[in-house]
Structures are given as structure tokens and as C-alpha cells.
A and B are shown apart, each in its own frame.
Chain A
Amino acid sequence: SQQGEEDPQALSIQEGENATMNCSYKTSINNLQWYRQNSGRGLVHLILIRSNEREKHSGRLRVTLDTSKKSSSLLITASRAADTASYFCATDGDEGNTGKLIFGQGTTLQVKP
């Protein structure tokens, strides 16, 4: 079963605008990761935030984590057409402690030039 649920499912913005995607999950986690997938390609790791962190930045990316609400958000600032892709959150909320990642359904982002 899928642990993470992204919201919205699809997002369309103009180049230069900010894009915010949200992820909710169900069980306790060690960390939460965000991945990007361009059409027809494999996934690319963007950022990992640990359960004891609240916010993390990487270039134009800002990730927040609220473990009390079991939710995370990914903000892409000053978006570019090249940011057009699907974005997935993944959690390791795995009782077997194998580190298995459970991915959400993803948010499809379209950035119009």
C-alpha cells in the first residue's frame, strides 16, 4: 500500500512562479525523501530530511517536515520550464526496519515558459 499521498495531483504554473507540493504519510518515519521523475526517465533524488529536522534547503528547493501532522512540503522557488516533471515523496516508515522506501502517487508539475 502507498504510504505517502501527494497533493495536488497536478499543478500548472508560469515560469518564475513558486510551486508547492504537499505530502502526507501515516506511520512514524526515520526520514522523508523527495524525488523527481522526468517523463520516461528514472527517478532522481532531490533532498532527504530526517525526522528530527524541520526544514532543509538545497538551491531553489525548500523542504519542511511536520512530524506531529505527518506531513511534508516541497517548495520550488523561481520555477523554470526544466522543472516540469513528476515529484514523489518517499518515506521509510517500515516496521521491519529494512529502510524500504514507500512512495506516494506523485504530483505532476508543468511549468509553462
Chain B
Amino acid sequence: EAGVAQSPRYKIIEKRQSVAFWCNPISGHATLYWYQQILGQGPKLLIQFQNNGVVDDSQLPKDRFSAERLKGVDSTLKIQPAKLEDSAVYLCASSFRKPHTDTQYFGPGTRLTVL
């Protein structure tokens, strides 16, 4: 079974530029998550999708971050414009259906450096 795929693995941009990350979850997984992990901290949930609907985006900085999950499969996370404090690893995860009881499977992450 293929795991969660993410691209790119690394990205370096200047502040105020835009960037987009892509995630392909495990086939059949209805729930998809985007996390932000700042160096030395645990992951923080940015947005959670159930199929193509948003379940929780309470910690997504909506003035600069956006995410979509078209057709309930792949997802993209965009930052526009980027700030220095956005430097972090962006992790995508997916789970089968029930967030309370199902294991979340994580992708390798995209390491973003904003200069």
C-alpha cells in the first residue's frame, strides 16, 4: 500500500512570495489533515478535511493560507504572501474515516524556508 505522498520535499522562497504544497493521501482515506511543525515543536493542525469538506480550519491563518481538496482526494495548501515565521515543515496526513479511532498516516513533509 502506497503511503501519503507530498511534494516538493524542500522549498526556499523570499518573504512575500507565494508557495504551494501538494498532498496525495492513501487511497480510500476520507480524512486529510495539514499540519505545521515549527522546529523543536510538535505538529499543529492547520486544516482538516472530511472528503472535500472542511471540518476544522480554526488554526489556519486565513489572511495568507488557503487549502482545497478537490474531488475529495488530492489537496493543495497555499501560502500567499509568505512571512519569515512561516518557515516550518508542512506535514500532510490521512486517515480512513473516523478521526477519533483511526490511525493517522503522515507523509514525509515539505520543509519550507522563508528568507
Contacts and interface: CB of A to CB of B under 8 A. Distances in A.
B42 A2 contact: yes
Nearest to B9: A40
A16 interface: no
A69 to B, nearest CB: 21
Nearest to B92: A42
Q: How large is the interface on A (under 10, 10 to 19, 20 to 34, 35 or more residues)?
A: 20 to 34
Contacts of A45: 103-105
Contacts of B55: 98
A48 interface: yes
A101 to B, nearest CB: 7
Q: Give the secondary structure class of A's interface.
A: loop
Interface string B69-112: 00000000000000000000001010000111101111111010
Interface string A28-50: 00110101000011111100100
B98 A103 contact: no
B71 to A, nearest CB: 22
Contact of A100 (B41, B45, B105, B109): B45
A31 B104 CA distance: 13
A8 interface: no
Nearest to A6: B42
B14 interface: no
B44 interface: yes
Nearest to B55: A98
Contacts of B99: 92, 98-101
Nearest to A86: B42
Interface of A: 2, 4, 30-31, 33, 35, 40-45, 48, 88, 90, 92, 96, 98-106
9 contacts: A2-B42, A33-B103, A98-B48, A99-B98, A99-B99, A99-B100, A100-B99, A101-B45, A105-B40
